[in-house]
């Protein structure tokens, strides 16, 4: 377990990198409209429906360059990103109390990502109009971020537990 402890900052570093990869694909009627990265969820972005060959379309399949929708910035994505950065910084210090705080930060990061999914799913269901249903497909980077937050919490727990009181050998 000692080599994994040495690489505990890598868990958080990879999570930060994953925010620059696609987190969510927006689909309408089975066709992917756009991929949104974790960083775009933090800053907000503008989407425009595209046709099969990349041309912009409206709901009646006619070209319409003025039809654009905005994805508002998501504070929960920002909070998860900040949790990963704080976890990265704190994981360089191998102090017992910081390991405990990193466990809390990792759990908070997972909670923020799950709440982000719930929030985005709720927003997508509100924006349904007519028969074109907007669906969200969560990508590998989103799920791997959650897994790495959990793995980081486990590693930080091992660091916390191993730095405890010295073990006494009773048998001799």
Q: Are 145 and 15 in contact (CB under 8 A)?
A: yes
Model pLDDT for residues 46-82, shown as the tens digit of each residue? 866 555 455 554 544 443 445 567 778 899 999 999 9
Enter the pTM of the model: 0.79
| CA-CA-CA-CA dihedral for 65, 44, 117, 98, to nearest 10 | 160
CA distance 84 to 86: 6
Q: Are 115 and 75 in contact (CB under 8 A)?
A: no
């Amino acid at each position: 377990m000692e080599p994994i402890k040495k690489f505990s900052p890598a868990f958080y570093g990879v999570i930060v990198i994953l925010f620059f990869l696609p987190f969510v694909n927006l689909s309408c009627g089975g066709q992917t409209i756009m991929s949104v990265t974790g960083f775009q969820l933090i800053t907000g972005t503008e989407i425009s429906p595209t046709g099969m060959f990349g041309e912009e379309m409206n709901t009646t399949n006619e070209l319409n360059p003025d039809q654009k929708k905005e994805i508002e910035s998501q504070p929960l994505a920002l909070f998860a990103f900040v949790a990963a950065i704080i976890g990265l910084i704190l994981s360089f210090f191998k102090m017992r109390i910081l390991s405990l705080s990193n466990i809390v930060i990792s759990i908070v990061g997972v909670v923020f990502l799950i709440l982000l999914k719930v929030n985005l799913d709720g927003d997508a269901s509100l924006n349904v109009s007519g028969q074109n249903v907007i669906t969200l497909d969560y990508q590998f980077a989103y799920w791997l971020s959650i897994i790495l937050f959990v793995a980081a919490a486990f590693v930080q727990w091992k660091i916390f537990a191993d730095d405890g009181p010295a073990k006494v050998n009773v048998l001799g």
